[in-house]
C-alpha cells in the first residue's frame, strides 16, 4: 500500500478471556430529542471486560442516540438502564460516568470530541478534568494537561506541527489518534467508541484498531459502533446489528485465520 510507511498488521492478543460484565444496558428506550432523531426501543446488551462488542449498521440507525444515552449526554429515567461496572448509571451525568471509569469517543471529531479552535492541552482537559490531577483547587495544572498531550503523541504517534497546536490544525487521522489516545491513557474500565476510523488514513486506522485491541486485552470492555464491517470483522469478538433502532441479532464471530492481502 502506498502510504509511505509500513502498516503493521492488527493483531489481537492470544488467549483473551472475557471477565465480568462491565457495561450492561437493560431495556433502554429513549425518545429522540430532535425532530429528525430516531427512537430507541428496548435495547439490551451485555459487555464483559476483555471483549470488544461491535455494533454494525448504517447512519440513521439510532447509533447517535445510543451514544448519547451511554455517555450521559442524555439521561435515562431509570438508573438501571445503563450499568457501568456494576453501578446503576442511567441517571448519572457524563462526568459522573467518567468517574466510574467510562470513556467515550464520539463520531464527530471537531465540535463534539474536541473544541476545534482550542489547543490539544485544553482538549485533554475537556475530558480529563474530573478524573485526573489536571485540576487542583479549581486551578488548571497546565503541566499535567501538556503531559497528557505528550504521552498521547508518543504512544499513538500523533503527527503535528508543534507541541500544542489547535485541534483544527491536525489531520483527521492524527486528531482521531489523539482523541482515542487521551481516553485510553485514562485506563478506562469501559470505552464506547463511535466510528473509530471514519475518514482516517490507513496508517492511523491501524494504530487505532490495535489500541482498541490492546485496551480490551488489558481487561476493559470496549463497545465499537461502526458502519465498516471489515473493521468490525478485524477487531470485534461479537457483533450486534442496530437496524431502525432495535437491537436485532447477535452473531458470534469466528476469528479469520488468514488475513487478505491489501494493495
Residue 153 binds other proteins, judged by CB under 8 A: no
Residue 115 binds other proteins, judged by CB under 8 A: yes
Residue 37 binds other proteins, judged by CB under 8 A: no
Of 115 and 217, nearer to other proteins (C-beta) is 115
Q: Which of 98, 160, 186, 238 binds other proteins (CB under 8 A)?
A: 98
Residue 106 binds other proteins, judged by CB under 8 A: yes
Q: Which stretch binds other proteins (CB under 8 A): 10-18, 46-54, 94-102, 224-232?
A: 94-102
Angle at 175 between CA 64 and CA 93, to 5 degrees: 40
Residue-by-residue DSSP string for 49-99:
TT-EEEEE--TTSSHHHHHHHHHTSS--SSGGGEEETTEE-TT--HHHHHH
Find the shortest distance in angstroms from Cβ 147 to other proteins. Answer: 17
| CB half-sphere exposure, 165, CA atoms < 13 A | 14
Please list, in sequence order, all residues whose beta carbon lies within 8 angstroms of the beta carbon of residue 154, skipping any fewer than 6 positions away. none
Strand, coil or helix: 167: helix
Of 98 and 238, nearer to other proteins (C-beta) is 98
Residues that bind other proteins (CB under 8 A): 71-73, 93-95, 98, 104, 106, 108, 111-118, 122-123, 125-127, 129-130, 135, 138-140, 168-169
Amino acid at each position: 500500500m502506498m502510504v509511505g510507511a509500513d502498516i503493521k498488521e492488527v493483531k489481537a492478543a492470544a488467549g483473551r478471556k472475557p471477565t465480568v460484565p462491565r457495561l450492561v444496558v437493560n431495556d433502554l428506550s429513549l425518545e429522540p430529542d430532535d425532530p429528525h432523531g430516531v427512537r430507541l426501543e428496548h435495547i439490551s446488551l451485555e459487555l464483559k471486560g476483555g471483549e470488544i462488542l461491535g455494533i454494525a449498521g448504517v447512519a440513521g440507525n439510532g447509533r447517535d442516540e445510543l451514544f448519547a444515552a451511554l455517555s450521559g449526554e442524555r439521561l435515562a429515567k431509570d438508573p438501571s438502564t445503563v450499568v457501568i461496572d456494576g453501578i446503576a448509571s442511567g441517571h448519572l451525568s457524563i462526568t459522573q460516568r467518567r468517574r466510574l471509569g467510562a470513556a467515550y469517543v464520539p463520531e464527530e471529531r471537531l465540535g463534539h470530541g474536541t473544541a476545534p479552535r482550542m489547543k490539544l492541552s485544553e482538549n485533554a482537559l475537556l475530558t480529563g478534568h474530573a478524573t485526573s490531577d489536571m485540576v487542583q483547587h479549581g486551578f488548571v495544572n497546565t503541566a499535567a494537561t501538556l503531559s497528557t498531550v505528550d504521552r498521547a503523541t508518543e504512544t499513538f504517534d500523533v503527527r503535528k506541527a508543534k507541541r500544542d497546536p489547535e485541534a483544527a490544525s491536525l489531520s483527521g487521522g492524527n486528531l482521531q489518534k489523539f482523541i482515542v489516545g487521551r481516553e485510553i491513557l485514562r485506563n478506562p474500565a469501559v470505552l464506547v467508541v463511535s466510528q473509530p476510523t471514519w475518514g482516517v488514513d490507513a496508517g492511523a486506522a491501524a494504530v487505532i484498531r490495535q489500541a482498541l485491541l490492546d485496551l480490551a486485552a488489558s481487561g476493559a470492555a470496549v463497545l465499537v459502533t461502526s458502519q465498516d464491517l471489515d473493521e468490525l470483522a478485524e477487531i470485534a469478538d461479537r457483533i450486534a446489528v442496530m437496524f431502525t433502532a432495535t437491537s436485532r441479532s447477535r452473531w458470534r464471530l469466528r476469528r479469520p485465520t488468514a488475513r487478505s492481502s491489501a494493495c
